[in-house]
Chains A and B, each alone.
Chain A
Amino acid sequence: MNLWNYIVVCLSLLLLATLLWWEIRRINRARRIGRVIATILLVAGLAAIVLPVTYTGSRIAGGREGVLLTEGYDPDSARIYLSSGVEVKDLSDLHLSALHVLGYGLTEGERATISDVPIVFHPSPMHTGIMSLHWAQQLLPGQACRIQGSFYNTTGGPVKLLLFGVSSLLDSVEVRLREGNFELRTVPVQADRAVYRLAVVAGKDTIEQESIPVEVLPARFLKILMLAASPDFENRFLAGWLSEKGHGVVIRTAISKDKYDHAFLNTPAMAVDHLSSSLFAQFDIVIADAAELRAMGAAEHAALWDAIAGKGLGLVIKADSLSHDADSVRMHGAGKILQTTLYTTYARLLAGERKDYAALWTRILQQAAREKEGAERWHFSPALPEVDHPVNILLQTAASMPQGLLEEGNGPVSVYFAQHPFLPFYWSGVYWPREAGWQAVSTPQGTRSWWYAWKEGDWATIHRRDRLEGTRRWIAARGEGKGAVMEAGEVHKLLVAKGWFYLLFVLSGLFLWVERRI
Chain B
Amino acid sequence: MAKGTNILSTVRRRWMLEGIVFYVLLSLSVSLTLWILLGRWGYGAPLYGIGIFCLLSLAALLLFRGWKITLVDTARALDRWIPELEESSHLLLRPENDLGALEKLQAARIEGRLDKAQLPHPFRIRLIISIGLVVVAAAPWAIKSISPPDTHTASGLEKATPKKSLLPAIQTVRIRVTPPAYTGRPVRSQQDLNIQAEEGALINWEIQTNTAVDTLQIILSDSAQIQLQPAGPERTLWRWSTVAAHSGFYQLRLSKEFSDLYKMEVIRDEAPRIVIRTPKPYTIVDIGESRRVPLAAKVQDDYGVQDATVIATIATGSGEAVKFKEQVLPFRTVFTGNVPAYDLQQTLDLDALGVHPGDELYFYCKARDNHGAESRSDMYIISLPDTAKLMSLEGLTMGMNIKPELFRSQRQIIIETEQLLHGKDSISVQAFNDKSNDLGVDQKLLRLRYGKFLGEEAEEGGSEESFKKAGDSPADFGNAGKVLDAFTDKHDNAEDATYFEPAIKQQLKATLTEMWNAELRLRTFKPREALPYEYKALRLLKDLQQKSRAYVAKTGVKLTPLDPAKRLKGSLDGIGQPVIQSTRTQEPSPEDKLRMALSVLDRQDAFTSPAYGILQEAARQLGRQAADHPGEYLAGFQALKRILAGTKAPSDAHLAQQALRKLVPLPEANPSAPNAPPDTGLSQLYFNKVNKR
A256 touches B661 (CB 8 A): no
A194 touches B578 (CB 8 A): no
B673 touches A370 (CB 8 A): yes
Is the CB of B581 closer than 8 A to any CB of chain A?
yes
Interface size on B, residues (CB 8 A): 73
Closest Cβ–Cβ distance, residue A507 to chain B (whole Å): 9
Partner of A374 from B152, B578, B677 at Cβ < 8 Å: B677
Nearest neighbor of A138 in chain B, beta-carbon distance: B675
- Please measure, in the bound complex, the distance between the C-alpha atom of A167 and the C-alpha atom of B672, giving whole angstroms: 28
Nearest neighbor of A209 in chain B, beta-carbon distance: B156
- Please measure, in the bound complex, the distance between the C-alpha atom of A46 and the C-alpha atom of B227, giving whole angstroms: 88
A358 touches B669 (CB 8 A): yes
Q: How many A-B residue pairs have CB under 8 A?
A: 237
Partner of B558 from A258, A262, A343, A371 at Cβ < 8 Å: A343
B150 touches A189 (CB 8 A): no
Q: A206-B153, A229-B561, A266-B584 are in contact. Are A373 and B577 (CB under 8 A)?
A: no
Is the CB of B275 closer than 8 A to any CB of chain A?
no
B178-186, B474-482, B527-535, B596-604: which lies at the A interface?
Answer: B596-604
Nearest neighbor of B576 in chain A, beta-carbon distance: A259
Is the CB of B289 closer than 8 A to any CB of chain A?
no
Is the CB of A95 closer than 8 A to any CB of chain B?
no
Q: Tell me the interface secondary structure of chain A in the complex.
A: mixed
Is the CB of A514 closer than 8 A to any CB of chain B?
yes
Q: Which chain A residues lie closer than 8 Å to B562 at the CB level?
A: 229-230, 254, 256
- Please measure, in the bound complex, the distance between the C-alpha atom of A506 and the C-alpha atom of B37, giving whole angstroms: 10
B201-209, B488-496, B622-630, B679-687: which lies at the A interface?
Answer: B679-687
Nearest neighbor of B653 in chain A, beta-carbon distance: A167
Is the CB of B41 closer than 8 A to any CB of chain A?
yes
- Please measure, in the bound complex, the distance between the C-alpha atom of A370 and the C-alpha atom of B675, giving whole angstroms: 9
Q: Which chain B residues lie closer than 8 Å to A328 at the CB level?
A: none
- Please measure, in the bound complex, the distance between the C-alpha atom of A169 and the C-alpha atom of B153, giving whole angstroms: 14
Q: A197-B156, A358-B669 are in contact. Are A190 and B674 (CB under 8 A)?
A: no
- Please measure, in the bound complex, the distance between the C-alpha atom of A245 and the C-alpha atom of B681, giving whole angstroms: 33
Is the CB of B243 closer than 8 A to any CB of chain A?
no
B671 touches A222 (CB 8 A): yes
Closest Cβ–Cβ distance, residue A64 to chain B (whole Å): 37
Is the CB of B658 closer than 8 A to any CB of chain A?
yes
- Please measure, in the bound complex, the distance between the C-alpha atom of A397 and the C-alpha atom of B578, giving whole angstroms: 46
A334 touches B687 (CB 8 A): yes
Q: A192-B596, A506-B33 are in contact. Are A371 and B676 (CB under 8 A)?
A: yes
Interface size on A, residues (CB 8 A): 100
Closest Cβ–Cβ distance, residue B562 to chain A (whole Å): 6
A residues 246-271 in Cβ contact with B at 8 Å: 246-247, 254-267, 269
Mask for B590-625, Cβ within 8 A of A = 1, else 0? 001001101111110000000000000000000000
Partner of A257 from B564, B582, B601, B675 at Cβ < 8 Å: B564
Is the CB of B101 closer than 8 A to any CB of chain A?
no
Q: A195-B602, A206-B153, A206-B156 are in contact. Are A259 and B674 (CB under 8 A)?
A: no
- Please measure, in the bound complex, the distance between the C-alpha atom of A374 and the C-alpha atom of B678, giving whole angstroms: 5
- Please measure, in the bound complex, the distance between the C-alpha atom of A372 and the C-alpha atom of B671, giving whole angstroms: 13
Partner of A164 from B155, B603, B671, B677 at Cβ < 8 Å: B155
Mask for B29-41, Cβ within 8 A of A = 1, else 0? 0100110010011
Nearest neighbor of B662 in chain A, beta-carbon distance: A168
Is the CB of A366 closer than 8 A to any CB of chain B?
yes
Mask for A162-205, Cβ within 8 A of B = 1, else 0? 10101111000000000000000001111111110101010011
Partner of A246 from B59, B559, B584 at Cβ < 8 Å: B584
Closest Cβ–Cβ distance, residue B661 to chain A (whole Å): 5
Closest Cβ–Cβ distance, residue A380 to chain B (whole Å): 15
Partner of B157 from A164, A371, A375, A506 at Cβ < 8 Å: A164
Nearest neighbor of B666 in chain A, beta-carbon distance: A187
A194 touches B675 (CB 8 A): no
B678 touches A289 (CB 8 A): no
Question: B30, B64, B673: which has the most chain A beta carbons within 10 Å?
Answer: B673
Q: A320-B561, A343-B558, A374-B678 are in contact. Are A189 and B156 (CB under 8 A)?
A: no
Mask for A194-228, Cβ within 8 A of B = 1, else 0? 11010101001110010000001101111000000
Closest Cβ–Cβ distance, residue B326 to chain A (whole Å): 37
Closest Cβ–Cβ distance, residue A421 to chain B (whole Å): 15
Q: A371-B673, A373-B677 are in contact. Are A262 and B561 (CB under 8 A)?
A: no
Nearest neighbor of B596 in chain A, beta-carbon distance: A191
A194 touches B668 (CB 8 A): no
B602 touches A190 (CB 8 A): yes
Q: Which chain B residues lie closer than 8 Å to A195 at the CB level?
A: 602
- Please measure, in the bound complex, the distance between the C-alpha atom of A167 and the C-alpha atom of B156, giving whole angstroms: 10
Partner of A189 from B155, B667, B677 at Cβ < 8 Å: B667
Q: Which chain A residues lie closer than 8 Å to B653 at the CB level?
A: 167
- Please measure, in the bound complex, the distance between the C-alpha atom of A233 and the C-alpha atom of B558, giving whole angstroms: 9
Nearest neighbor of A505 in chain B, beta-carbon distance: B33
Q: Which chain A residues lie closer than 8 Å to B595 at the CB level?
A: 189-192
Closest Cβ–Cβ distance, residue A391 to chain B (whole Å): 20
Q: A167-B654, A247-B671 are in contact. Are A189 and B598 (CB under 8 A)?
A: yes
Is the CB of B427 closer than 8 A to any CB of chain A?
no
Q: Which chain B residues lie closer than 8 Å to A266 at the CB level?
A: 582-584
- Please measure, in the bound complex, the distance between the C-alpha atom of A309 and the C-alpha atom of B671, giving whole angstroms: 22
B602 touches A320 (CB 8 A): no
Mask for B1-40, Cβ within 8 A of A = 1, else 0? 0000000000000000000000000000010011001001
- Please measure, in the bound complex, the distance between the C-alpha atom of A353 and the C-alpha atom of B603, giving whole angstroms: 35
- Please measure, in the bound complex, the distance between the C-alpha atom of A167 and the C-alpha atom of B681, giving whole angstroms: 45
Closest Cβ–Cβ distance, residue B646 to chain A (whole Å): 21
B578 touches A261 (CB 8 A): yes
Is the CB of A83 closer than 8 A to any CB of chain B?
no
Is the CB of A291 closer than 8 A to any CB of chain B?
yes
Q: Can you list 22 residue pairs at the A/B interface with Cβ under 8 Å?
A: A189-B661, A190-B599, A191-B596, A191-B598, A206-B153, A206-B156, A222-B672, A230-B561, A232-B559, A259-B575, A262-B577, A265-B583, A267-B583, A347-B556, A363-B669, A369-B671, A369-B673, A371-B676, A372-B675, A374-B678, A517-B64, A518-B63
Closest 4 pairs between A and B when the two form their complex, measured CB to CB: A344-B556, A191-B595, A371-B676, A192-B599
Interface residues of A (CB under 8 A from B): 140-143, 162, 164, 166-169, 187-195, 197, 199, 201, 204-206, 209, 216-217, 219-222, 229-230, 232-234, 243-247, 254-267, 269, 284, 289, 291, 295, 320, 333-334, 343-344, 346-347, 354-355, 358-359, 361-363, 365-366, 369-377, 396-398, 423, 425, 438, 499, 502-503, 506, 510, 514, 517-518
